[in-house]
């Protein structure tokens, strides 16, 4: 399936009071280029995220933004359960039994007791965030790729439309070529008869055929027409391929080859009708090159 290189996807999840979100944006680029933005405490995951992204996307300039927002005061911290147990044991031992039923514990206040809330090591935070971020990146990429595939359907219709228009004009060129040779033979015979009439000579069919043959060989465009037709067939196969393999670079190369054949036809033929059709073909090929630059 044809895919464009423009897309957007996002995903988020709340894990243990921390909100993680991943955004993926894609624009055109001749090659794969990734830009990963992550919070400072998660910088060690940057290379792994880029590697995972490269397995999902083959071409384009991809920007990935990772955000981490704490929804409580315990962000990047953890409660030391051993410290809490010691404090509760100490309170239980120090409070008389007669007052025990009337005592309550303020859990929020307990968090402010030194040693209860401890800073979570960066390595522990990274290990906790790793599976979450990779899952979110995968979801965001899937959403972005879906958008690229929808735009790819539009690109496919445009590209196939350009191909149909080129084929129509190429058929006219192919049909016109024999007529050009025949007209050249008629004009050459008339000129030769006019020149020889002054010296009472006559046109030799052998000489005429030899000259026509030389001209026909010099202006023969049949090979170029066949090669251009073959390029257009390959072009249709690539555009209609449902495998999902990236074809943008191949389409770009193929459009250059099509333009090469069109230029050769234009240089060989001086016929006005053929030249007009070739000009239109070259314009359509340029449109294909422009659109191919949007294809992954």
- Domain ranges in the chain are 77-119, 151-292
pLDDT confidence of residue 280: 95
Integer CA distances (angstroms), 97 to 84, 90, 101, 105, 284, in order? 21, 14, 8, 15, 93
Cα 116 to chain centroid distance, Å, stands at 51
Beta bridge partners of 262: none
Domain with residues 151-292, CATH architecture:
Up-down Bundle (1.20)
Q: At what angle do helices 272-292 and 122-197 cross, to 10 degrees?
A: 180
Q: How far apart are CA 15 and CA 71, in angstroms?
A: 10
pLDDT confidence of residue 128: 81
Which region holds residue 4: left if phi is over 0, alpha if psi is between -120 and 50, else beta?
A: beta
DSSP, residue by residue, 173-236: HHHHHHHHHHHHHHHHHHHHHHHHHTTT----HHHHHHHHHHHHHHT--HHHHHHHHHHHHHHH
What is this structure's pTM?
0.68
Cβ neighbours of 181 (radius 10 Å): 16
Contact 227, 261 (CB under 8 A): yes
Please report, in angstroms and rounded to a whole number, the separation of the first and last CA atoms in the chain. Answer: 10
pLDDT confidence of residue 196: 47
Integer CA distances (angstroms), 76 to 27, 68, 216, in order? 34, 10, 82
pLDDT confidence of residue 91: 65
Q: How far apart are CA 153 and CA 250, in angstroms?
A: 18
pLDDT confidence of residue 72: 40
Determine the 3-state secondary structure of 192 from DSSP: helix
What tokens were used for 180? 């050009």
Q: How far apart are CA 168 and CA 289, in angstroms?
A: 19
Provide the residue-wise pLDDT of the chain in tens; the chain has 296 residues.
789 999 999 999 987 777 899 999 999 998 999 999 998 888 889 999 999 999 999 999 999 999 988 644 344 566 667 776 777 676 666 656 655 566 666 666 766 677 666 555 557 678 888 899 999 999 999 999 999 999 999 999 999 999 999 999 999 988 887 776 665 555 555 565 554 455 555 555 565 555 545 555 565 677 888 899 999 999 999 999 888 788 999 999 999 999 999 998 888 777 788 889 999 999 999 999 999 889 99
Integer CA distances (angstroms), 143 to 16, 38, 64, in order? 25, 20, 13
CA angle (249 as vertex; 244, 252 as ends), nearest 5: 120
pLDDT confidence of residue 243: 82
Question: In terms of DSSP H, where are the helices of 24-80?
Answer: 46-56
């Amino acid at each position: 399936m044809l895919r464009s290189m423009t897309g957007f996807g996002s995903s988020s999840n709340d894990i243990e009071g921390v909100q993680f979100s991943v955004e993926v944006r894609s624009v055109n680029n001749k090659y794969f280029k990734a830009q990963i933005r992550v919070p400072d405490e998660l910088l060690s995951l940057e290379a792994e995220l880029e590697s995972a992204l490269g397995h999902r996307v083959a071409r384009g300039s991809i920007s990935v933004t990772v955000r981490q927002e704490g929804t409580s005061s315990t962000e990047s911290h953890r409660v030391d359960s051993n410290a809490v147990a010691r404090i509760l044991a100490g309170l239980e031992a120090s409070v008389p039994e007669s007052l025990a039923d009337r005592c309550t514990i303020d859990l929020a206040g307990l968090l402010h007791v030194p040693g209860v809330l401890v800073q979570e090591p960066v390595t522990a935070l990274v290990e906790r965030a790793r599976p979450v971020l990779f899952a979110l990146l995968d979801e965001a990429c899937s959403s972005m790729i879906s958008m690229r595939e929808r735009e790819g359907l539009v690109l496919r219709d445009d590209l196939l439309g350009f191909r149909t228009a080129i084929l129509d004009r190429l058929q006219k060129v192919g049909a016109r070529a024999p007529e050009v040779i025949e007209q050249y033979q008629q004009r050459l015979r008339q000129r030769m008869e006019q020149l020889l009439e002054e010296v009472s000579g006559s046109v030799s069919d052998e000489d005429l055929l030899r000259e026509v043959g030389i001209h026909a060989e010099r202006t023969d465009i049949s090979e170029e027409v066949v090669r251009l037709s073959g390029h257009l067939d390959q072009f249709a196969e690539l555009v209609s391929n449902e495998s999902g393999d990236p074809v943008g670079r191949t389409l770009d190369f193929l459009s250059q080859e099509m333009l090469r054949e069109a230029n050769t036809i234009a240089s060989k033929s001086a016929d006005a009708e053929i030249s007009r059709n070739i000009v239109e073909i070259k314009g359509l090929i340029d449109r294909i090159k422009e659109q191919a630059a949007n294809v992954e």
